Amino acid sequence: MKHWEGKKVVITRDDEYHSRLYGTIQHWDIEKNRLVLQPGSIHILLNDILHIKELKMLPQDLNSAAWELNSVGYLMKQPVQFDNAILFSSKVMIWKDDQLIEPFARLVRHNRERVILDDHRTFTKADHQFVVRSRKGC
């Protein structure tokens, strides 16, 4: 069971509601027949676990990452963020991996897969990161 330590998981409990707990397994305590889940150091008896499923990202990480502030703006992930950048003609930086592609882009359209700039260039959301510049970063 040591291979689970440090993994992000959802644990389904063997209770009447099959309640779920999300977190990172800190360690297994074999002597006390339990595991410790972070954040919060939640102790869960192994007999109370119906099953464990590994996750790539925890739900609480998704929510905070959607509005993550960096030194010059917000990393855009939600459709409403792209809508607002278009509505307010915000300056947007476009990154591919660790390379800055466009420092002061203006978006005119977007859909689920692509973003179109005012100069008609198209970038894919899957391959690029879009950072809308905040007032302090302009």
Structural domains in the chain plus CATH codes? 2-60 (2.30.30.100), 67-137 (2.30.30)
pTM: 0.48
15-20: average pLDDT: 84
Residues 33-88 have pLDDT tens digits of 899 998 888 898 888 888 999 988 877 665 554 455 455 678 898 898 999 999 99
At residue 3, the pLDDT reads 82
Going by C-alpha positions, the residue among 101, 84, 100, 103 that lies closest to residue 92 is 103
Phi, psi of 92 (to 5 degrees): -130, 135
List C-alpha distances in Å: 108 to 29, 37, 94. 55, 44, 14
Read off the pLDDT of each residue in 11-23 and give the average, rounded to a whole number: 87
Dump pLDDT digits (tens) for 106-123.
999 999 999 999 999 999
Longest dimension (CA), the chain: 64
Pairing of strands 42-45, 129-133: unpaired
Assign residue 41 a region: left if phi > 0, alpha if psi is -120 to 50, beta otherwise? left
For 110, the token pair is: 């977007």
- Indicate whether 137 pLDDT > 50: no
Separation between Cα atoms, residue 48 and residue 36, nearest integer Å: 13
The whole-angstrom separation of Cα 69 and Cα 22 is 24
Judged on CB neighbours under 10 Å (0-12, 13-18, 19+), 35 is buried
With cut-offs at 50, 70 and 90, classify the pLDDT of residue 105.
very high
